[in-house]
């Protein structure tokens, strides 16, 4: 993880927030390569969920919602972590993350000092809206995007004429006052979620739950993730969230071990039932294809962390490889083996020399390609060094313009993964890159 954190900073993927002031815990900034990667991961998810599913539409709800939302959802009452403090060294722990032995003996795992009693700590960030800081002005930063979907479900049925079963997808920021934030961007106080809520007829929920588990697993396979680094974890009765009847996590083998990447939950009619109760509005669905039967739909939720997906993709792509090119057997390279659909830079155009018109020719190629792809241009330093820089940024294709290019209008296309080079006519580059992206299969 240290190597990934340092590469992320060095190459402009992720920086610590407010670094010049000593850093802000639980918050991170996405640099030029990071924002491109994050956007591509979000776009891949959005395409999968909306474009490829006729029965799913999108939404972008506000982060600030009526405070009753969070009473109805159960978050005010139940969204808590058990917390203990050390009276001696002042360290703070989640009680469920220290050993049973330490907890019963009330012994600090770090300094053996005495621990306080366990107390419940609500994870929602609370602030005030308007000039008065009283209880009437309390407002929360949303801890999940899901509730914005539930309270809009009737609007969407009415405006988009969706019929059950159907889904609503949303990507957006969420905030949690996490007690323990470590492992880089894995668990943070400000993060982004990609959530989809699928509304089904009561009784059809188990079947749809199994279906969505299958679809979400297949999605990661399509993204080219190492499938032996993914596994299922079923929530036991003690682990289930207050809204869930059944829940499975897709876990990824991060450098610190197996951890949750995405949750798939059967939330039953809990959320809509509670919002109906708290708002006094009728949130029943009228099933016109079923003798106008009225019911509160059950909800199957797929909930993935976008920023956690960024970390997963970085870890999954990271590789160090000993390469023997240029006759140097000791040469190592760091390479990010991103799927070309996710790579922040799709292709880099590199003139072998700055002189003799090669730079101008390379600039023309870049100009042509950037209409369709994210293209970088680099003319600084030896060509081998430039390849290494692109490998480290995860650029799948390098296009080198050399003296032969001037003679026959071809360039070399270098593949990041195999480091193989082939000659391609300049006129065919766009079509060739498109084809390479479409048919990409990870081999290493
Ligand atoms: N709406 C359901 C929900 O929020 P969750 O299991 O609490 O369920 C879903 O969160 C996903 O959001 C997690 O699988 C994880 O990827 C991401 N996530 C949750 N808390 C996070 C945090 N503090 N930092 C980064 N990502 C987080």
pLDDT, tens digit, 9 for 90 and up, residues 99-115? 999 999 999 999 999 99
Half-sphere exposure of 116 (CA within 13 A, CB side): 16
Determine the angle formed by the axes of helices 306-317 and 32-46, rounding to 10 degrees: 110
User: Given this model, what pLDDT does residue 331 score?
Assistant: 79
Q: 362-397 burial string, b = 16+ CB within 10 Å, else e? A: beebbeebeeebebbbbbeeebeebbbbbbbbbbbb
User: Given this model, what pLDDT does residue 108 score?
Assistant: 95
Give dist(CA 350, CA 353) in Å, integer. 9
CB 26 within 8 A of CB 188: yes
In the reported structure, the alpha carbon of residue 193 is separated from the centroid of ligand 1 by a whole-number distance in angstroms of 7
On the 0-12 / 13-18 / 19+ scale of CB atoms within 10 A, 98 is: middle
Residue owning the nearest CA to atom 9 of ligand 1: 303
- Bridging pattern class, strands 125-128 and 119-122: unpaired
149 lines ligand 1 (CB under 6 A): no
Number of H helices, E strands in the chain: 14, 23
User: Given this model, what pLDDT does residue 444 score?
Assistant: 83
Give dist(CA 192, CA 308) in Å, integer. 8
- Residue 49, sorted as left (phi over 0), alpha (psi -120 to 50) or beta, turns out to be alpha
170 lines ligand 1 (CB under 6 A): no
For a substitution probing ligand 1, which of 148, 174, 195, 198 has the most ligand atoms within 8 Å of its CB?
Answer: 174
Residue owning the nearest CA to atom 21 of ligand 1: 187
Give dist(CA 302, CA 169) in Å, integer. 9
321 lines ligand 1 (CB under 6 A): no
Residue owning the nearest CA to atom 22 of ligand 1: 187
pLDDT, tens digit, 9 for 90 and up, residues 225-255? 999 999 999 999 888 988 899 999 999 999 9
Give dist(CA 103, CA 99) in Å, integer. 6
Cross-strand pairs, 252 = 230, 259
Give dist(CA 303, CA 261) in Å, integer. 9
Give dist(CA 217, CA 237) in Å, integer. 23
Residue written as token pair 């020719």: 361
In the reported structure, the alpha carbon of residue 305 is separated from the centroid of ligand 1 by a whole-number distance in angstroms of 5
User: Given this model, what pLDDT does residue 435 score?
Assistant: 98
User: Given this model, what pLDDT does residue 299 score?
Assistant: 98
User: Given this model, what pLDDT does residue 274 score?
Assistant: 97
Give dist(CA 374, CA 380) in Å, integer. 19
In the reported structure, the alpha carbon of residue 176 is separated from the centroid of ligand 1 by a whole-number distance in angstroms of 9
User: Given this model, what pLDDT does residue 428 score?
Assistant: 97
Give residues with Cβ within 8 angstroms of 324, minimum separation 6. Answer: 331
Give residues with Cβ within 8 angstroms of 173, minimum separation 6. Answer: 63, 142, 145, 190, 191, 192, 193
Give dist(CA 341, CA 339) in Å, integer. 5
368 phi/psi in degrees, rounded to 5:
-65, -45
Q: What is the DSSP string of 21-77?
A: GT--TT-EEE-HHHHHHHHHHHHHHHIIIIIT-TTEEE----SB--THHHHHTTHHH
Give residues with Cβ within 8 angstroms of 21, minimum separation 6. Answer: none
Give dist(CA 264, CA 206) in Å, integer. 12
Cβ atoms < 10 Å from Cβ of 406: 12
Give dist(CA 129, CA 241) in Å, integer. 29
- Bridging pattern class, strands 166-175 and 56-58: parallel
On the 0-12 / 13-18 / 19+ scale of CB atoms within 10 A, 328 is: exposed
Give dist(CA 398, CA 419) in Å, integer. 10
User: Given this model, what pLDDT does residue 328 score?
Assistant: 61
Q: What angle do CA 98, 305, 13 make, to 5 degrees?
A: 100
Give dist(CA 92, CA 207) in Å, integer. 42
190 lines ligand 1 (CB under 6 A): no
Rg (CA), the chain: 26
Residue written as token pair 């990609």: 194
36 lines ligand 1 (CB under 6 A): no
Mean pLDDT by 10 residues, the chain (444 residues): 96 97 96 98 98 97 97 94 93 90 94 94 95 91 98 96 96 94 93 98 97 98 95 94 94 98 98 98 95 97 98 97 68 94 98 92 97 96 94 98 96 97 97 97 87
């Amino acid at each position: 993880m240290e190597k990934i954190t340092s590469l992320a900073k060095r190459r402009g993927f992720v920086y610590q927030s407010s670094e010049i002031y000593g850093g802000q815990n639980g918050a991170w900034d996405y640099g030029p390569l990071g924002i491109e990667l994050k956007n591509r991961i979000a776009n891949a998810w959005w395409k999968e969920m909306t474009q490829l599913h006729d029965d799913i539409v999108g939404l972008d709800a506000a982060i600030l919602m009526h405070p009753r939302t969070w009473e109805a959802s159960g978050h005010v009452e139940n969204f808590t972590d058990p917390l203990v403090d050390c009276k001696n060294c002042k360290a703070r722990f989640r009680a469920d993350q220290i050993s049973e032995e330490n907890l019963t003996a009330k012994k600090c795992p770090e300094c053996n000092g005495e621990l306080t009693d366990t107390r419940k700590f609500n994870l929602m960030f609370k602030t005030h809206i308007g000039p008065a800081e009283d209880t009437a002005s309390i407002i929360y930063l949303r801890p999940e995007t899901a509730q914005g979907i539930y309270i809009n479900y009737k609007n969407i049925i009415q405006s988009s004429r969706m019929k059950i079963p159907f889904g609503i997808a949303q990507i957006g920021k969420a905030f949690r006052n996490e007690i323990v934030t470590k492992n880089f961007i894995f668990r943070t106080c400000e993060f982004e979620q990609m959530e989809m809520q699928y509304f089904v007829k009561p009784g059809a929920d188990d079947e749809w739950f199994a279906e969505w588990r299958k679809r979400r697993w297949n999605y990661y396979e399509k993204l080219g993730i190492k499938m032996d680094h993914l596994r299922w974890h079923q929530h036991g009765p003690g682990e289930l969230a207050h809204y869930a009847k059944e829940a499975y996590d897709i876990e990824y083998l991060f450098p610190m071990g197996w951890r949750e990447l995405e949750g798939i939950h059967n939330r039953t009619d809990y959320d809509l039932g509670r919002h109906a109760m708290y708002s006094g509005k009728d949130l029943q669905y009228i099933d016109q294809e079923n003798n106008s039967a009225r019911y509160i739909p059950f909800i199957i939720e797929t909930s993935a962390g976008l920023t956690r997906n960024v970390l997963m993709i970085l870890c999954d792509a990271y590789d160090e490889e000993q390469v023997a090119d240029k006759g140097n057997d000791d040469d190592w390279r760091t390479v990010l083996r991103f799927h070309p659909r996710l790579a922040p830079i799709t292709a880099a155009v590199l003139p072998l020399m700055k002189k003799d018109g090669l730079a101008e020719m390379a600039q023309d190629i870049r100009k042509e390609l950037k209409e369709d792809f994210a293209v970088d241009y680099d003319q600084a330093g030896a060509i081998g060094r430039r390849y290494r820089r692109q490998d480290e940024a995860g650029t799948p294709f390098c296009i080198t313009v050399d003296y032969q290019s001037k003679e026959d209008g071809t360039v070399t296309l270098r593949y990041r993964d195999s480091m193989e080079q082939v000659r391609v006519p300049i006129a065919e580059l766009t079509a060739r890159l498109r084809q390479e992206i479409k048919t990409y299969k990870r081999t290493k």
